[in-house]
Amino acid sequence: MERVIYARSRMQAGAKPAVVGGKPITEELAMELRITAFGTSSCPPRGEWILSPLAMRPADQLLGFGLSASRNGTRSLLSGLQAHIIKWLLFDSRPVTKDNKSSEPPDSYLRPSEERQEEALWRSCSDIIWRCGGQGQTEPKAIVALPTDKIYVQHGSNYYQDGVTEKLHLFEFSNLEDLQIFIKRYLYLFQIEDGAGALLLLYAAILSRGCENIRKDLDGKLSYLVSTQVEGSLNVTTLLLTGRATPYLHNGVQYVGDEDHYAMPQFGILSRSSVGLLVWYNGDESSNIGHNVSNQYPGSRLKTPALPIWVTNCSGHYGILFNTNRELLRNYHAERRFDIQYYTCGGCHVILNVDTRAHEDLGHLRNDDISATPLEKLIHTKWQDAKITWTGAAPYSGDSPI
């Protein structure tokens, strides 16, 4: 058995459960899955998808809440997962009093034990997969695919083996509790060092949503889900956040047409998300999407989510902004002046202060000011006239343009 990223003694001492049951993948489904995700089955996916596990940083330490990953095409997916991990650690798992305040300081929940790290992982993965399987369906179902040692699809001109897809067994679930038990049991397969944990999560999201529904979501704007951009596609992020791989970030449905074409519906964000999304394009939207897609600016359902957590796309770089106060977006006074944390899976972590109160010297803080950093400009897309200051000097990070 390959070495596992986490090193809990009881897991190392005990044998890990072998994958039992499920249905072997067929050649037809293997090809459809690869085409839906990567655009072709005759060439293998980029290597990072085969070698990117779901790896947490050391427990009980600073940044123990964070995933650790290289800067590559899996970043858009891992950032969506990271936002859900922070959501569970900060809000879903915290006991609160009658006045909606936690009995422990929020920062203590950002240094989880190994046990809490694992629970955050399997709960977050389960929630993402279940959302993809239950979106708009009267009988929701989730599908998870796990690798075995047996090859079910042979190498040929129409299918190039990647070492994972052709070995999958598929498991179907009709309720969230059973899905959670299953993901918890086989979490180690998502965490194996140099393993394909990110790909397994992507496949589970696609299979649960359905390949045909993914194509409908993309609306002809893209022919497959994972773009060629360095850190991946926004459509992967919207799939993880909303259960739909929509290229449109506006609220609801908009009808778009002209004098030569009938108005056609563009389905954006259909309900308020628990985790939000902010983007800043540096004036070149198409370069960050990889396609000429309009309407790429988030509407209020993404800008103002239920909880103060946002996946960010800043000039093609993905990260997460979050605040530890559950009431931030519900309380006008809390939103006047507050700290916000920024984290990337590459290990960049900074804290900024956002002051939305009126200032006389805001002229040099506008969005179009060349002296503002890209991250500050992104924050201004949510809090337009805010004064932003750094806790300590504004650092430079090669992982993300901050």
Beta partners for residue 171, in sequence order? 144
pLDDT value, residue 8:
39
What are the CA-CA distances from residue 111 to residues 8, 61, 66, 125, 139 (Å)? 16, 5, 9, 20, 38
Handedness of CA 160, 162, 167, 170 (dihedral sign): negative
pLDDT value, residue 203:
98
Q: What is the pLDDT of residues 367-391, one digit of tens each?
A: 456 568 899 999 999 999 899 998 7
In a domain, 10, yes or no: no
Average pLDDT value for residue range 5-32 = 75
In a domain, 6, yes or no: no
User: Which two three-digit tokens encode residue 117?
Assistant: 């790290």
User: Which two three-digit tokens encode residue 394?
Assistant: 């504004």
In a domain, 74, yes or no: yes
Provide the number of structural domains found in the chain.
1
In a domain, 4, yes or no: no
Mean pLDDT of all residues belonging to the chain? 87
Pick the closest to residue 32 from 24, 22, 40 (CA basis): 40
Give the Cα separation of 257 and 254 in Å (integer). Answer: 10
Q: What is the pLDDT of residues 61-103, one digit of tens each?
A: 999 999 999 999 999 999 999 999 999 999 999 876 666 566 6
Unique residue bearing structure tokens 């998300």 = 273
User: Which two three-digit tokens encode residue 89?
Assistant: 């650690």
In a domain, 118, yes or no: yes
DSSP H or E run through 242: helix 234-242
Helices (DSSP H) in 357-400: which residue ranges?
Answer: 374-380
Unique residue bearing structure tokens 């990953």 = 69
Give the Cα separation of 68 and 55 in Å (integer). Answer: 6
Q: What is the pTM of this model?
A: 0.89
Provide DSSP, 7-53: --HHHHHSPPPPP--SEEPPHHHHHHHHHHHHS-SSSPPPGGGTS--
Helices (DSSP H) in 88-175: which residue ranges?
Answer: 114-134
Give the Cα separation of 163 and 147 in Å (integer). Answer: 9
Query: Residue 65, Cα to own-chain centre: how many angstroms?
Result: 15
**Domain enclosing residue 302, as ranges:** 18-259+272-390
In a domain, 45, yes or no: yes
User: Which two three-digit tokens encode residue 96?
Assistant: 């609160």
Pick the closest to residue 356 from 364, 365, 348 (CA basis): 365
Angle between helices 75-87 and 197-209 (to 10 degrees): 80
Asked if residue 181 lies in contact with residue 173, where contact means CB atoms within 8 angstroms, the answer is: no
Give the Cα separation of 322 and 324 in Å (integer). Answer: 7
In a domain, 7, yes or no: no
Which distant-in-sequence residues (6+ apart) come within 8 Å of 18 by Cβ? none
Per DSSP, the three-state class of 275 is: coil
Q: What is the pLDDT of residues 171-222, one digit of tens each?
A: 999 999 999 999 999 999 999 999 999 999 999 999 999 999 999 999 988 8
In a domain, 176, yes or no: yes
pLDDT for residue 327 is more than 50: yes
pLDDT for residue 281 is more than 90: no
